[in-house]
Amino acid sequence: MEDGKTKLVVDLPDDATYSAETLWVTGEAGRPGLFRLDNVPVLAFGLALDDIVRAEKQDDDRWHFLEVVTPSGLWTVRVLGTSDADATRFDGIVNLLKPVSIASEKHNDRYIAYAMKPEDFKNVEKAVDELEQPDILMVEIANE
């Protein structure tokens, strides 16, 4: 199902909690092995919504990520709050990012990834920085 919607396996570093993240992708018609990312990566670094990526089908009969061929230009902005994070500050960051994001994926109640245009993030970056708490409430750009 190379030209339709399928799942893409993205291996994560050995020290990660999970071994891989699976993302929805749509095959690029007439371009074997190329896919467009259909959702926001939550765990994988270096990827963003709408990136065109190269993948190969492996022995497990699943498509596995190889490389980004054409970046979408979007940023993957992640918000991670530990159980010690101030809920009001976390909600404040979400309230700044959500309206200017294109899409989001929620890993859990304290871990959300957003797809954003870089200029839209830059417009709220100062306010976001003021709400962060070192080591307990962080915002990162996962593909800058």
Mean pLDDT of 49-73: 96
User: CA angle, 143 as apex, 117 and 15 as ends, to 5°?
Assistant: 150
Q: What residue segments make up the domains of the chain, in order of their start?
A: 5-70, 75-141
pTM for the predicted model, two decimal places: 0.91
**Residues 125, 72 contacting (CB under 8 angstroms):** no
Query: Which position has the token pair 């989001």?
Result: 104
pLDDT digits (tens, 9 = 90+) for 14-43: 877 788 999 999 998 788 899 999 999 999
- At the topology level of CATH, where does 75-141 sit? Alpha-Beta Plaits (3.30.70)
